[in-house]
């Protein structure tokens, strides 16, 4: 995967951290259909383990906010300390008011349609790609 050519935002690595299997499965299907490499975890602790065991770039993390063992915001703070350039999309069935202000950049309320996740992921990965292109010049 290292050095892979990213065409139209495809071939990116996305880590899903979600305790509900049905939502995790839907996200996996949608993201694979978009052409991405998908990693999965059932909670924040497992998300950190998956990230630490994956030696290549993770472009985006999609994380639920409330999960057993370790919640999404706690996991995201640890993950961003280790991978400062990772983009984060928080999802929750609860109000956006439950999202800490420093993590409020990108949020999607559950339930959502597959088209909404496709659009949000494409928007975030396009923005990330544009930022990295600006840094190179």
Whole-number average pLDDT of the chain = 85
- At residue 114, the pLDDT reads 93
Position 5 pLDDT exceeds 50: no
Its pTM stands at: 0.84
**CA distance between the termini of the chain:** 24
Which CATH number does 13-136 carry?
Answer: 3.40.50.2300
In the chain, where the domains are located = 13-136
Residues with Cβ within 8 Å of residue 109, at least 6 apart in sequence = 91, 92, 93, 96
pLDDT in tens, 10-24: 689 999 999 999 999
pLDDT in tens, 43-54: 999 999 999 999
């Amino acid at each position: 995967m290292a050095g892979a050519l990213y065409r139209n935002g495809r071939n990116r690595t996305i880590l899903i951290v979600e305790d509900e299997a049905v939502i995790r499965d839907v996200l996996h299907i949608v993201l694979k259909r978009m052409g991405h490499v998908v990693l999965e975890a059932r909670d924040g602790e497992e998300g950190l383990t998956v990230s630490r065991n994956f030696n290549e770039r993770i472009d985006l993390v999609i994380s639920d906010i409330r999960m057993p063992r370790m919640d999404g915001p706690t996991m995201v703070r640890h993950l961003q300390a280790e991978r400062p350039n990772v983009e984060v999309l928080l999802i929750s069935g609860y109000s956006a008011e439950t999202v800490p202000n420093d993590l409020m950049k990108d949020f999607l309320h559950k339930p959502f349609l597959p088209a909404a996740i496709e659009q949000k992921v494409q928007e975030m990965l396009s923005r990330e790609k544009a930022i990295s292109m600006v840094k190179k010049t």
